[in-house]
Amino acid sequence: MSNNPLTLAKFRAAFPAFRAAKYPDAAVQSRLALGDLFFGEDVWRDPVVRHHAIGLYTAHFLSIGGKDACGAYSGAGSATGLIASKSVDGASVSYDNSATAEAGAGLWNSTVFGQELYKLMRIYGAGAVQI
């Protein structure tokens, strides 16, 4: 645990879509604890940037985990692109994510939080760090 972890209250203030009614404290706290370990102070020296990265990490995994990870699903942060095709009778739609997806980002492309975090990891110089 770091000397300056991102608290549950600060996370909820920065990411209000992840309110307690849909995302129980225990589910959020477990991801915050992992983020605190993965985004070490030795690499992420600026506490504001580090807390934002931990918040993005937490929001990303809570979003993709859905009800299995936290007891409810809000769809917060789903990554979608332009509509590429649609069907009226079968009520089907597909999206073209190529405009917003980061090449090589894999799972990080599945939410807007992950996409931003991936960009931050590359910009901030943590691109070679595996998490």
β-sheet bridge partners, residue 87? 92
pLDDT per position as a tens digit, 62-75: 998 864 454 444 45
**Local structure of 78: helix, strand or coil:** strand
To the nearest whole number, what is the mean pLDDT of the chain? 79
Residues 6+ apart with CB under 8 A from 124: 44, 49, 53
| pTM as predicted | 0.74
Question: Tell me, what's the pLDDT at 72?
Answer: 44
Q: How far apart are CA 94 and CA 106, in angstroms?
A: 19
Give the C-alpha separation, 92 to 10, whole Å. 39
Residue 85: per-residue pLDDT? 55
User: What are 114-131's pLDDT values in tens digits?
Assistant: 999 999 988 876 555 555
* Domain residue extents for the chain: 8-78+107-124
In whole angstroms, what separates CA 79 from the centre of its chain? Answer: 11
